[in-house]
Amino acid sequence: MPSSKVLFMREIAEEVLMKDVLSKDMKTQITERFFDVARKYGIKQGTKTEIGRSCNTFEWTMLKTLFLKKIEGELEFYGFLGGAPKDLLVYEEEDTKET
């Protein structure tokens, strides 16, 4: 990456992190799918204790991890590995000149 682009990484990070990527409907759909799988297999988030409950059982943590990895994998495969638009493939010589 040209060094001049490094100067904008803070702005780029804010652009990515401060805006929602998924719509509310998609977030709801993903969450409900997770809960459907948990219900199907009887997986609970916590266990009862004398003072309430403990959170994040082994099964819940494993399900969550598998679920997040699946979503990440699908996004990478279908979204990013499918190929960038032609204008984003490589820096041209004029892009790499210091400004």
Query: Using CA atoms, how far apart are residues 77 and 16, in angstroms rounded to an integer?
Result: 19
**Could you tell me the pTM of the whole model?**
0.69
Q: Is 57 exposed, middle or buried (0-12, 13-18, 19+ CB in 10 A)?
A: middle
For residue 54, CA distances in Å to 14, 45, 49, 50, 60 come to: 35, 8, 7, 10, 12
- Measure the CA–CA gap between 18 and 96, rounded to whole angstroms: 28
Query: How does pLDDT run across 45-94, given as a tens digit for each residue?
Result: 999 889 988 889 999 999 999 999 999 888 887 766 667 788 887 888 76
Residue type, 33: R
